[in-house]
Structure 1
Amino acid sequence: MSITTIKCVLIDLDHTLCSTAEGAAAALSVFADRYGLTDLEEIKAQFREINESLFLRYLNRHVSITEFRLRRYEQLLKLPGIKSTSQQSLAAEAAGFAEIMNRNCVLYEDSLDFLEYLQSKRMKLALLTNGPVDGQRTKIEVLKIGHFFDQIFISGETGYEKPSPAAFTNALNVLQGTPENTVMIGDSLELDIHPAVNLGIQAIHLDRSEQESNPDPQFQTVASLKTLQSHNLIR
């Protein structure tokens, strides 16, 4: 089944178009070298828990982006095996850690072809992403994808975070689209797919891990952007 009569495409950034794992690995490698840690895999596991918990607090506006980055770094410094103290101000190290993460994210191998494919369709294409302005803008710059989009909506700029309906309706208003002629593409059922469907927006769930079954007829699930392109599912 294809998604038809589409005039506007909203697409997520992190874990949809780009992988952030490489950026985290690069930053954690620098951190491990600085503080004499050797078990990088354990550090990565601990970091995922710390990062996910604090990022939710940031999205819910319980902490600022500066506080989020600082607290994340402070919690990393509490990992077993760290005996030395910070070599410079914690704020500077925390900001540097975030910069390394953002500058080392990478596009998935099917993302560039898919963006070129959508651009050839002459639809309005917009990026709809949660996160701080500086971090998301840095990723877009490093990935060299900004020119593909008619509009870029970053929660840190607009003030509207997914899954809030306002994040989607604001994008539709700017693009002059309607739910019926718009499709949302993203990896998160909670943040991307369910809120879009609730507004009547067509939706495609990107499950690269192929771990989630989809019994819901209200949206499609695919394992790659290449599948969308090769099957011409958006037209």
Structure 2
Amino acid sequence: MAAAGIEALLFDLDNTLVDTARASRQGERQVKDLLKSQYGYEESAANRVLEKFNTQLQKNNDLAMGVNVDEERISLFEMALQETDGLDPDRGLATECYFLWKTTRLQHIHIPEEVKAMLKSLCQSYKLLLLTNGNSVVQREKINVCQCQRYFDTIVVGGEHPEQKPAPSIFQKCLQLLGVKPEACMMIGDNLETDIKGGLNAGLGATVWVNNNNLKCQEAAMPDFTVKSVLEVMDILGRK
């Protein structure tokens, strides 16, 4: 069943167009190797540092505008190291760990060639907008390294607005920028709570859930279409 009457496509970024999760794991591997090879950490202790860092990272993911993201995330590594080894805070090691993680992650964040080709094809028939949640600095770094400006008419970063997905206001902003009605717009993303529920709340014409981890759907956020890869959007739109 193809989606009819769609004029504009809203794409999520992380784990929809780019494999941010995989890039983060690459960064974690580098930090673990550093802790083990240069600082004498056992495998289990290095794993605990990263587990603690990731736990706090998820809790502090939506940092407000004006907050120094690097300093905040260095502090997360500092706490993780201290809680793991019980020693005094080591800002120097925390800084080394963080920038190794960040640099490695950015090196592995990219839009796959086949996804680029899809976006180039879609932009000939549809208006394309990138809609991503998160802190402006963090998301703009990813956007720049991926050169997303080449593929989208407009880019909207949630952290630069009063509300982020799933709030209807940010979807209304996107519709205004594109000059389209809600029923003519499709949201494509991997997150049921933000992308799909947000699209439904905004009354969009269709929502596409990129479920590449075989998760179970929720009744409160039931997408119109479920796919395993963002590339399947072409099939939904009836394009080859």
The TM-score with structure 1 as length reference comes to 0.80
Mapped contact 1:6–1:234 kept (Cα < 8 A)? no
| 1:172 and 2:178 matched | no
CA–CA distance in 2 between the matches of 1:188 and 1:79? Answer: 31
| 1:219 and 2:214 matched | no
Q: 1:98 to 1:218 in 2, by over 3 A?
A: closer
Q: 1:50 to 1:176 in 2, by over 3 A?
A: same
The one of 51, 55, 60 aligned to 1:54:
60
Task: Report Cα offsets for 1:71-92 as digits up to 9, x if no partner.
Answer: 4223332352475853639678
Q: 1:234 to 1:53 in 2, by over 3 A?
A: farther
Point out the more displaced range, 215-224 or 160-169.
Answer: 215-224
Residue 24 of structure 2 is matched in structure 1 by 24
CA–CA distance in 1 between the matches of 2:86 and 2:21? Answer: 23
Task: Report Cα offsets for 1:26-60 as digits up to 9, x if no partner.
Answer: 4333433154433465555444322212215x3xx
CA–CA distance in 2 between the matches of 1:109 and 1:147? Answer: 13
Residue 78 of structure 2 is matched in structure 1 by 74
Task: Report Cα offsets for 1:170-212 as digits up to 9, x if no partner.
Answer: 1111111111100110111111111211221021111011222
CA–CA distance in 2 between the matches of 1:73 and 1:188? Answer: 27
Residue 90 of structure 2 is matched in structure 1 by 86
CA–CA distance in 1 between the matches of 2:225 and 2:73? Answer: 35
Q: 1:153 to 1:54 in 2, by over 3 A?
A: same
CA–CA distance in 2 between the matches of 1:106 and 1:43? Answer: 27
Give the AA of the match of 1:107: I
Mapped contact 2:186–2:208 kept (Cα < 8 A)? yes
Q: The residue matched to 2:142 in structure 1 has which SS?
A: helix
The one of 81, 99, 106 aligned to 1:102:
106
Q: The residue matched to 1:185 in structure 2 has which SS?
A: strand
Residue 12 of structure 1 is matched in structure 2 by 12
Deviation at 1:109, TM superposition (A): 6.5
Question: What are the ranges of 5 or more consecutive residues in structure 1 without an aligned counterpart?
Answer: none
RMSD: 3.2
By relative contact order (CA 8 Å, sep 6+), the higher-ranking structure is 1
* Count of equivalent residues: 231
Q: 1:156 to 1:99 in 2, by over 3 A?
A: farther
Give the AA of the match of 2:234: Q
Give the AA of the match of 2:55: E
Mapped contact 2:123–2:151 kept (Cα < 8 A)? yes
The TM-score with structure 2 as length reference comes to 0.79
In the TM superposition, 1:135-146 aligns within 5 A as 135-146=138-149
Q: The residue matched to 1:200 in structure 2 has which SS?
A: coil
Residue 131 of structure 2 is matched in structure 1 by 128
Q: Identity rate of aligned residues, in percent?
A: 25
CA–CA distance in 2 between the matches of 1:177 and 1:78? Answer: 52
Question: What are the ranges of 5 or more consecutive residues in structure 2 without an aligned counterpart?
Answer: none
Q: 1:128 to 1:217 in 2, by over 3 A?
A: closer
Mapped contact 1:69–1:98 kept (Cα < 8 A)? no
CA–CA distance in 1 between the matches of 2:65 and 2:147? Answer: 32
Q: The residue matched to 1:184 in structure 2 has which SS?
A: strand
